[in-house]
Amino acid sequence: MRERRPNILFSMSDDQRFDFMGCAGHPYLETPAMDSLARDGIHFRNAFTAIPLCAPSRASQLSGLYPHRHGVIHNSRPLHDGVVTWPELLRSAGYRTGLVGKIHFGGGAPHPGFESWVSFEDQGQYEDPVLNINGVEVAHRGYNTDLLAEYAERFLAADDGRPWALCLWYKAPHGPFTPPPRYRDLYADEPLPLPSTMGASLAGKTLAMREGQPAGHRRDWGPADVFASNRTYEAVMRDYPRTLRAVDDALGAALAGVERTGRAEETLVIHTSDHGYFLGEFGLADKRWMYDPSIRVPLLMRYPAAGRPGGQTERALVLSLDIPATITDFAGIGVPAPYQGMSLRPLLTGSGPWQRTSVFVEYFEDPPFPALPTMVCVRTATHKLVHHLRTGETDELYDLVVDPDERNNLAGLAAHAAAEATMRRLMAESEGLCGFEAPQR
């Protein structure tokens, strides 16, 4: 008997850290919708992005490919000709496909494959945005995340008997971290949880990290100075969770819309982020670097029809490229040969072995931010190796069991030569398997 194809709701925030959810243990941020997915589905605790940058990550989520393969190596590059996205494959297979939200590349008009879309150019605006609706720009009044939720509900209500796949990809909580009016005073009195590495030494870090001008902020900021998006550290730390709370509202509205379809049990719901975000670790804002706050992402999945009981915490290593492979697999297409991720079917069904024991992550020098070099990373459950592809930079090796904050670079130390050799072999194998080569800028 052929497996019935699921509907798919793919929710993705922008710059959401893996630990900014109630179900992830955040001390005060309330995320009832995300928590409900963790309660009724699977919370993947060790999920990582293929690249910690907005447009390249989105292109990877659509194409199932690493950026060096699909071409969007930074925020101003288009997809290579001939790249076939999973929305195209699903639409050809009879799905109704839609995008509501941020695409970032392509000038706000999504790559072919979406039957309908509501998007915006580049980062868009939080308040009173201009939205691109199926190719027509329309000015709106209201708050971006709330408007996207309304359009998502319209898509879900427009049932025509076909299975559907909807990408609900928010602008939020990306800087300038603007919350809706209803949340502007939320969490005002909560103590701020400061990262343990905020004032940590940069000894042993690569040259660009020690001496360069990091993206997104000044190196010499203090409590009363600008940290990111022309705001002080305290302002960012208050408004970031406020803005994310509105994302949870939008996700909750979409989940309610799924319930109204009458097929919630047969709908694959995914929530993740394009990448993480630094909130003061080693003095950093923004993302891009290969430390865990930047490359680790939240990942929640709920698909009751898959068979695994809800409320599970999964600690296996998974990669953002596994999401497109999972979508096409459950949609009855299988995993297309070019795709570089693995279907999460074994973890969603609770049957069969999971083969991934490491993740490979890449980043390419971005013309507006030349201080950050092209770099690649391989991470296992116990170690991380970062290789910087610029003359004069220092590679980094971390023992994540004894040093989860990534303070002490062990590369080149005789006592850790065996671990380094193992990780360098794994790096070479990973580069070979994904066909890695650094594209020309």
Q: What is the pLDDT of residues 238-285, one digit of tens each?
A: 999 999 999 999 999 999 999 999 999 999 999 999 999 999 999 999
Q: At residue 255, what is the residue type?
A: L
Q: What is the pLDDT of residues 86-136, one digit of tens each?
A: 999 999 999 999 999 999 876 656 667 999 999 998 889 999 999 999 999
Q: Look at residue 324 and tell me if it is in a domain.
A: yes
The pLDDT of 231-240, averaged and rounded, is 94
**Band (441; pLDDT cuts 50, 70, 90):** low
Give how far the C-alpha of residue 385 lies from the chain's centroid of Cα atoms, to the nearest Å. Answer: 21
Q: Look at residue 380 and tell me if it is in a domain.
A: no
Q: Look at residue 214 and tell me if it is in a domain.
A: yes
3-state secondary structure of 157: helix
Residue 271, strand partner residues: 11, 300
Q: What is the pLDDT of residues 318-350, one digit of tens each?
A: 999 999 999 999 999 999 999 999 999 999 999
Tell me, what CATH number does 141's domain have?
A: 3.40.720.10
Overall domain count for the chain: 1
Q: Look at residue 151 and tell me if it is in a domain.
A: yes
Q: Which residues, other chains included, contact 409 with Cβ-Cβ below 8 Å and sequence gap of 6+?
A: 204, 205, 394, 396, 397, 398
Q: Look at residue 101 and tell me if it is in a domain.
A: yes
Q: Give this prediction's pTM.
A: 0.96
Q: Look at residue 383 and tell me if it is in a domain.
A: no
- Answer for the pair 172, 247: CB distance below 8 angstroms, yes or no: yes
- Would you state the torsion angle of the CA atoms of residues 425, 429, 431, 435, taken in this order, to the nearest 10 degrees? 160
Q: Look at residue 406 and tell me if it is in a domain.
A: no
Residue 222 domain boundaries? 7-349
- Answer for the pair 137, 130: CB distance below 8 angstroms, yes or no: yes
Q: Look at residue 431 and tell me if it is in a domain.
A: no
